[in-house]
């Protein structure tokens, strides 16, 4: 089986390998997406830049060890934080841009045939896995007659996926009441019935709309676009 790799992908994998929690140095070796354990969890982050890409690290064992060591030291560590430095290093290898929030995803939803995958090995034993799926080509320095317009620059980001979240309301509770929550409990939100739901991207309010049902699936019918986007705290 031929494994497709790129110079840029290898550079990102090498950078990630240096910061995955491990007691021994790791080496990035080209692999197939089918080699990655299907029941594992990937830590994924979208990189918006030139090129834009989806980055993922699969390192269940290394993460578990890092979290356990942090707890033992009295400094609890979230799994996403254990691998964020590796993803940040990979993003820097791709070039200038912004790395979005790290999120856990099942491997089955992250890896596919068009994903560039590397085994991060200690000797010949895979300790972790790194994956990158580039969404756009690298931009070369334009000539005077090819200076891109702002719209052309924006077009490079058209295929970048972003997560939209709909929120129908919020409430605040003391920790005691949160711990006492049980099935059947009713929480009163800060919205009246029929009020529009907020549509947010990365915590920023971009629109409002009404909740609808389409083929037994919830949806949002947009009724208002929020100019400028308000940051929701």
Domain ranges of the chain: 7-143+148-155, 164-231
Strands 204-214 and 116-122: unpaired
Give buried/exposed letters for 101-127 (b at 16+ CB in 10 A, else e). Answer: ebeeeebeebbeeebbbbbbbeeeebb
CATH number corresponding to 164-231: 2.30.330.10
Q: What's the mean pLDDT when you consider all of the chain? A: 82
CATH class of the region 7-143+148-155? alpha beta
pLDDT 10s digits, 103-149: 999 988 888 777 899 999 988 899 999 999 887 544 444 444 445 55
Q: How far is CA 169 from CA 12, 179, 199, 232, in A?
A: 40, 20, 11, 12
pLDDT over 80 at 38, yes or no: yes
Confidence band of 50 (pLDDT split at 50, 70, 90): confident
More confident residue, 93 or 67: 93
Give yes or no for a contact between 31 and 117, defined as CB atoms under 8 angstroms apart. Answer: yes
pLDDT over 80 at 2, yes or no: no
């Amino acid at each position: 089986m031929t494994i497709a790799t790129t110079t840029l992908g290898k550079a990102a994998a090498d950078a990630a390998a240096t910061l995955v929690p491990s007691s021994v140095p790791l080496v990035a070796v080209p692999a197939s997406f089918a080699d990655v354990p299907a029941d594992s969890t990937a830590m994924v982050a979208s990189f918006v830049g030139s090129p834009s890409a989806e980055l993922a690290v699969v390192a269940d064992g290394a993460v578990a060890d890092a979290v356990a060591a942090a707890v033992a030291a009295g400094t609890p560590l979230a799994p996403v934080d254990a691998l964020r430095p590796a993803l940040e290093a990979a993003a820097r290898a791709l070039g200038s841009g912004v790395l979005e929030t790290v999120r856990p995803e099942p491997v089955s939803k992250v890896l596919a045939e068009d994903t560039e995958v590397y085994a991060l090995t200690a000797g010949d034993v895979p300790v972790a896995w790194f994956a990158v799926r580039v969404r756009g080509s690298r931009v070369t320095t334009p000539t005077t007659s090819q200076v891109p317009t702002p719209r052309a620059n924006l077009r490079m980001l058209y295929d970048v996926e972003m997560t939209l979240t709909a929120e129908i309301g919020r409430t605040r509770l003391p920790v005691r009441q949160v711990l006492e929550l049980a099935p059947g409990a009713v929480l009163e939100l800060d919205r009246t019935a029929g009020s529009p739901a907020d549509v947010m991207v990365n915590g920023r309010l971009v629109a409002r709309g009404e909740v609808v049902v389409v083929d037994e699936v919830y949806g949002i019918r947009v009724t208002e676009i929020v100019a400028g986007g308000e940051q929701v705290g």
